[in-house]
Amino acid sequence: MSTKVLEIKDVTVSFDGFKAINNLNFSMDEGELRVIIGPNGAGKTTFLDVISGKTKPTEGVAYFKGQDLRKYKEHEISRLGIGRKFQTPRVYLNLTPRENLDLSCNRNKNVFSTLFKKAPSAEKRTVGGLLETIGLDHKADIPAALLSHGEKQWLEIGMLVAQSPDLLLVDEPVAGLTDEETEQTGKLLMSLAESHSIVVIEHDMEFVRQIARQVTVLHQGSVLFEGTMDQVQTDPKVIEVYLGKETGLTPEQMLLLRIAATMAWADDNFADVQQALILDRLSRKFAHAPEEQAELRSDLQNLLATEIPLEDLVPQLTTQAQREEALMLSYEVISSNQINQTEAIVYQKLLNLLSLPPETVSRLEAAALEELAARG
C-alpha cells in the first residue's frame, strides 16, 4: 500500500472571515509529482503556505507522512523534510553556484565557515553531483549574478535538493523563462521526481502538460477537479472557471472540439479558416450571440492551443454518434484548406482510432464536404 506523503483534511484558512482555503481535501502519494493549477486567487499560494507552516489552518488538519503539521513551526517543518522554492530565486548572487550549493549542504554552518573551510570530499561529490543534475557544472565557479533567470531557478532548486527534503514545494518555476529553459526545467523536475515527492504550482499549460501525470485544479479555495491533463482540459467546470463564464458545453462537446482542434494542429498551423469552422460549428450548435462568439473565439483559441494526442482523446468518445461527429467535424476542418501530407497522416490515424465501417466513413466525408460547400 502506498503511503500518503500529504493529506489535507477539511482545511479552511480564513483571513478576516474571507476563506482563501475553503474546506479543502487533498491527498498525494509518496513519490508523486502533482501539479496544482487554478485561476488567480484560487488559493494556490495559501495552500503551499499551509503545508510549509507559514500559515496555520483556521480549521482542519494537514498531515505530512502522517504527522500533524499543526504541532510544528515553519522552520521545524522544513527540518521534517519539506523544502519550498519560492517564485523569485533566493540565491546569493555574489557567490558561485558551487558556493551556494555548499552553503545549502551545510545549513548549520555559517557563510564564512563555508567559504573558508575546505569541504570534505563526500560533500564535494554531492555538490558536484547536484551541479550536474541542475545542468550548471560548466558554470559552477562564476558568480550567480551572471546566471540567466532560468539558471538561477535551477540553482535554487538544487539548493533545496541539497537539503535532502522528501517533499519539494515549487511555486511557478517557469514564470519568465524562455521556451528552452522551460523545457529544461520540466526535465529537471521529472528527474527529481524519481527520488522526491513534488508539488508544483504553475500557470503555463504547455509546461503542465510536459510534466504532469495528475493535476489538481483549485478554485475558490477548494478542489474543483482532479485528473490527467487531458481530462482537465476537456472538463467544462474547469473551462468555465478559466474562461470566467459559462460555455454551455458538455464534456462530450468539448471533446469533439479538442479532436477537431488537434486535427487542425496536425500541420502545426491552426489556420484562421479552421478556427472559424470549429467556432462556427460551436455557435450554430450552442446559439451564442455574435458578440459572444468573437469573445469565445479568442478564449477558445487559447484553450485549444495545446495539442493533445489523438490516442488520448478518441478513446474518451463513448457512443457511435460521437465518433461519427468527430470524424465529420475533423474532415471538415482539414478539408477547409488544401489537405497536406501531415494532415493526411494524422487523419488516417484518427480513422484507425475511430474504426468506423468504410461505408460510414465515405458517407460522413461526403456530408462534411457538403457542409463546407454550403458555407461557401
Interaction site with ligand ATP (CB under 6 A): 15, 18, 20, 38, 40-46
Which one, of 184, 183, 191, 189, lies nearest residue 171 by Cα?
A: 189
Cβ neighbours of residue 233 closer than 8 Å, sequence gap 6 or more: 205, 239, 258, 303, 306, 308
CB of 255 to ligand ATP, least distance (A): 27
All three cell numbers of 353 = 482510432
Amino acid identity at 18 = F
Cell 538561477 sits at which residue? 152
3-state secondary structure of 17: coil
Nearer to ligand ATP, 11 or 162 (CB): 11
Is residue 217 within 8 A of residue 231, CB to CB? The reply is no
Beta strands 59-64 and 4-15, pairing class: antiparallel
Please, what is the minimum distance in Å from the beta carbon of residue 105 to ligand ATP? 31
Instruction: Report the distance separating Cα 146 and Cα 96, nearest Å.
Output: 9
Q: What is the DSSP letter of 54?
A: S
CB nearer ligand ATP, residue 77 or residue 277? 77
The strand pairing partners of 8, in sequence order, are 26, 62
Residue 62 CB, shortest distance to ligand ATP, in Å, is: 15
Distance CA 72, CA 63 (A): 11
Cell of residue 284, nine digits: 450554430
User: In the complex, what is the shortest distance from the CB of residue 161 to ligand ATP, in angstroms, rounded to a whole number?
Assistant: 24
Q: Smallest gap, in angstroms, from Cβ of residue 53 to ligand ATP?
A: 15
d(Cα 265, Cα 274) in Å, to the nearest integer? Answer: 9
Q: Grid coordinates in use for 4? A: 500518503
Between 46 and 233, CB nearer to ligand ATP: 46
Sign of CA dihedral 93, 99, 101, 102: negative
CA atoms within 13 A on the CB side of 149: 13
Decide whether 38 or 81 has the Cβ nearer to ligand ATP: 38
Nearer to ligand ATP, 216 or 275 (CB): 216
What is the side-by-side order of every strand in the sheet holding 82-85?
A: 82-85, 167-171, 197-201, 33-37, 214-219, 222-227
Nearer to ligand ATP, 18 or 112 (CB): 18
Least separation in angstroms between residue 190's CB and ligand ATP is: 23
Dmax (CA) for the chain in angstroms is 80
CB of 195 to ligand ATP, least distance (A): 27
Residue closer to ligand ATP (CB basis): 42 or 205: 42
Q: CB–CB of 311/346 below 8 Å?
A: no
Q: Considering the complex, what minimum distance in angstroms separates the CB of residue 45 from ligand ATP? A: 3
Quick one: 222 or 336, whose CB is closer to ligand ATP?
Answer: 222
- Pairing between strand 214-219 and 33-37? parallel
Whole-number minimum distance, CB 199 to ligand ATP, in Å? Answer: 13
Residue type, position 7, single letter: E
Nearer to ligand ATP, 104 or 222 (CB): 222
Q: Kindly state the smallest distance separating residue 19's Cβ from ligand ATP, in Å.
A: 8
Between residues 161 and 168, which has the closer beta carbon with respect to ligand ATP? 168
